[in-house]
Amino acid sequence: MAIKDKVILITGASSGIGKAIAETLDAYAPRLVLVARRGDALRALADSLQSESVVIACDLLETTTLENLVAQTIERFGRLDVLINNAGIGGKVGLLPELPDSQIHQMISLNLTVPILLSKYAVAQFTQQGEGGTVLNINSIAGKWAFPYWSVYDASKAGLKAFAEALSEEQRSNNTRIISIYPGACATDIWDSVDLAQAPDASGMLAPQQVADAVLYALNQPQDLLISDITLMPTKALL
């Protein structure tokens, strides 16, 4: 398989889609760098995997951490082949004047600035290795469709879409693929960070495993084949 023995860094790996990705890739014997804030959950995940893995518990909003993630990966495994930008946050849903400034900064930082900076460091490493690599972004359907009352979240995800498309064109000559996956509503704990009057019904949502299966499919293609865009939507209408 194309991912066998590859070194893969996954952010937001302690739960939800990130955890499902790690568990799904594990069957193909990559070497995994698992990143999230919750160290206990990361260590429990690593203990359950057969693949060689390293746990890095950190806050991605501490920007000095980001370059260190790639440096620690190289120190442990000697290379980096795939970056999966999965970590993200929701927030208060409402009219823009109702949103706290701190939450706006946090959403833009984690959903957009962090993936941009990690991609910068990863692409530099791919270029140094001389063999190309892959950046895979777990975006959101909000990156394609604007939803009222989610304006800042929409902006962060639309920005990530534009960034990925431009970076893809920049890096084709370096044999580096930029892949974006756009899930619709998915049953993860991101909903715990979304300020809604009523919790959404998760029964019709995508499962994290369905997103992980799409990640596996995209990564397992040969390096000279780019699947740039996968959109996943639940069949059942949620609204």
Does position 201 have pLDDT exceeding 70, yes or no?
no
Tell me the two tokens of residue 142: 């909000």
- What does the alpha-carbon distance between residue 52 and residue 36 come to, in Å, rounded to a whole number? 17
Rounded to the nearest 10 degrees, how much is the dihedral formed by the CA atoms of 198, 205, 214, 41? 50
- Counting residues of the chain whose pLDDT is more than 70, the rounded percentage is 92
**Residue 225 contacts residue 219 (beta carbons within 8 Å):** no
Beta partners for 82? 8, 134
What would be the CATH architecture of the domain defined by 7-231?
Answer: 3-Layer(aba) Sandwich (3.40)
Tell me whether residue 153 is one of the annotated catalytic residues: yes
pLDDT exceeds 70 at position 216: yes
* Helices 39-48 and 16-25, packing angle to 10 deg: 20
Which of 28, 121, 149, 153 is the catalytic position? Answer: 153
Band (pLDDT 50/70/90 cuts) for residue 1 is low
**pLDDT at position 90:** 85
Provide the mean pLDDT of the chain.
92
Bridge partners of 11, per DSSP, are 35
